[in-house]
Amino acid sequence: MSDSVFRKKSVVKAVADVDEGASSHMNKILGVRDLTSFGIAAIIGAGIFSTIGRASVNGGPAVSLLFVFTAIACVFTALSYAQFASTVPVSGSAYTYAYVSFGEIFAWIIGWALILEYAVSNMVVAISWSEYFTSMLEGFGIHFPSYWATDYGSAARAYAEVQASASPASLTPHTRELAQAFQDAPALGSLKFIADLPAGFVTVLITALVYVGIKESRSASNLLVVLKLAVIGLVIVAGAFYVKPENWSPFAPNGVGGVLSGVASVFFAFIGFDSISTTAEECKNPQRDLPRAMIYCLIICTVLYVLITLVLTGMVNYKELGVDDPLAYVFQKVDLNFIAGIISVSAVVAITSALLVYQLGQPRIWMTMSRDGLLWPRFSKIHPKYRTPSFATIVTGFLVAIPSLFLDMQFFIDLTSVGTFFAFILVCGGILFLDAKGLSRHSKFKVPYVNGKYIIGVALILALVLVVRSGGFVSGIEEKPLLAVFWLTWAVFSVLAFQYNFSLLPVLGILTNLYLMTELGISNWAIFVVWLVIGLVIYFSYGYRKSKLAAEAVQ
């Protein structure tokens, strides 16, 4: 069995399957501008309009540096994605790349993790959209019932907190509003009917657009991104006049630990760049344009994130940013309600673009897995008129819409990161495999080669000396046991790099992503393990037997 589960697909076969399959009839219309637009649409979504505030509450203004650190980690990964995209211009993203590098079982695990990543990301975006939508309606004097615009768990917890508080007036307005929503919600006996209807509605709407076609999705995305960038420019320019430097002091109020506690939220803000690779089969020149688009969108978005963070934390005290609509909130705080209104209206439209890209990406991953025989054949069915993976798109709509009606945003933010980090690590590791097997010679874009023979080992020694001298080595591992895995992995790569002259940048991608994984909580890992077990059950009960490679081996 071990030989079977590690069976690999060749690069030649991966490309040939596209030419022979139904997906070869998909519309190839995307250029580098469209792809960059898709990347910006995915990256600058709920992250900049919502989760950036949550990260700032613990990290303070220093969260801007966390964006830089996370972006650096993503650059190493993006370069690896870019090389794979130029070598294997096939939909499926990290799933396809793992298939040609590490074998079928790893491909399945990554594909299954990506299903979780894209679905969860869209749920966060849909919930954030709902927050801004109801805020926009309030600006026009229309009150949307709060109990139809939140999740049951958040409302119930807020109600319990208000009931237990000796001074409810001292609680945040947001908590009191949620408690009131719980109290006002229609009920059947003791059962309260509470759901986030706008989140479900916008998911259905976007699913319909994605179902209709890539050309329509491209046009909508390009328009929405232009609007989004205009709003962000307005926030930066207008907000700069209201920055109070004293709000930046202390810069890191809770130290490094406080800054890194926002890693799930900050990393979530960047994961969209890999969604570009899911559209490889609809690109005019994927081997040239995909790498360029990934790098362009990552650079643009990092600069915008840092500027936005500095403006937000400079306009108000970082402690006030724990809201779901921080951009609108800070302008209301400085009595610029007109700009706050513009932001709320624009955010409703702009966040939609992120929802569109994620909803576009997931069906294409399912399509590729189905084409390989690992999922049921219907998932690879292409609509004869619209040239889109129709069944997979509909299933994606249900998978995102229903949970977004009932679950809260923070749950989803925490859930999405583990699988994403895992996928990123395997993609970076895959570049080392391509180099070792000589397959990199087929790549039209290559990760810049820097010989890590000595650098990786020397860097390990320096890092260990600094950590041990600070007295944080043992205590760090006791607090976060995964740090032991991180140090051990670094040591192993130091030896292997000395032996095989490993390329430095992919190794840095692996190590930075692995370190960021150590910052995630135990609940993140527990849920991911449960999801992984479910996926393995499906693989061994269906995909293992039905795999196209298994059928070819029998023949």
Enumerate the β-bridge partners of residue 191: 188
Quick one: CA torsion of 433, 439, 444, 448, rounded to 10 degrees? Answer: 40
pLDDT value, residue 23: 47
Place of tokens 């294997």: 88
Domains with residue ranges and CATH for the chain? 28-139+200-428+528-553 (1.20.1740.10), 152-193 (no CATH)
3-class SS of residue 152: helix
3-class SS of residue 406: helix
pLDDT value, residue 490: 95
Phi and psi for 365 in degrees, rounded to 5?
Answer: -70, -45
Helix axes 104-139, 522-538, angle to 10 degrees: 120
Do 106 and 28 touch, CB atoms closer than 8 A?
Answer: no
Which candidate, 335, 329, 301, places its Cα nearest to that of 317?
329
pLDDT value, residue 438: 83
Helix axes 197-212, 214-240, angle to 10 degrees: 130
**Distance (Å, whole) CA 362 – CA 35:** 16
pLDDT value, residue 451: 94
**Distance (Å, whole) CA 148 – CA 134:** 10
**Distance (Å, whole) CA 494 – CA 397:** 45
**Distance (Å, whole) CA 323 – CA 338:** 19
**Distance (Å, whole) CA 540 – CA 153:** 35
Enumerate the β-bridge partners of residue 267: none
Sign of the dihedral through C-alpha 61, 62, 68, 73 = negative
Phi and psi for 8 in degrees, rounded to 5?
Answer: -115, 150
pLDDT value, residue 198: 92
**Distance (Å, whole) CA 265 – CA 254:** 17
**Distance (Å, whole) CA 40 – CA 47:** 11
Residues in contact with 316: Cβ distance below 8 Å, sequence separation at least 6, in sequence order: 247, 329, 330, 333, 334
pLDDT value, residue 49: 65
Enumerate the β-bridge partners of residue 30: 283
Sign of the dihedral through C-alpha 192, 193, 198, 201 = positive
Please give the distance of CA 249 from its chain centroid, rounded to a whole number: 30
What does DSSP assign to residue 334? T
Enumerate the β-bridge partners of residue 61: none
Q: Give the 3-state DSSP-derived string for 118-135, with helices as H, strands as E and coil as C.
A: HHHHHHHHHHHHHHHHHH
Which candidate, 322, 390, 356, 283, places its Cα nearest to that of 50?
322
DSSP 158-186: HHHHHHH-S-GGGS-HHHHHHHHHHHHS-
Helix axes 337-371, 326-333, angle to 10 degrees: 170
31-35 contacts, C-beta under 8 A, 24 or more apart: 31/283, 31/284, 31/285, 31/289, 32/288, 32/289, 32/292, 32/293, 32/296, 33/222, 34/218, 34/221, 34/222, 35/276, 35/279, 35/283, 35/289, 35/290, 35/292, 35/293
pTM of the model: 0.80
Q: What is the mean pLDDT of each run of 10 residues along the chain (555 residues)?
A: 73 71 64 86 69 76 82 83 83 81 88 81 81 80 87 85 81 81 85 89 89 75 81 85 87 78 68 75 83 87 87 85 75 80 75 78 86 90 84 90 80 67 86 86 85 94 90 82 90 94 93 82 78 91 89 66
* Both tokens assigned to 205: 């709407």
Do 83 and 291 touch, CB atoms closer than 8 A?
Answer: yes
What Cα–Cα distance (Å) separates residue 257 from each residue in 52, 396, 466, 519? Answer: 17, 37, 17, 9
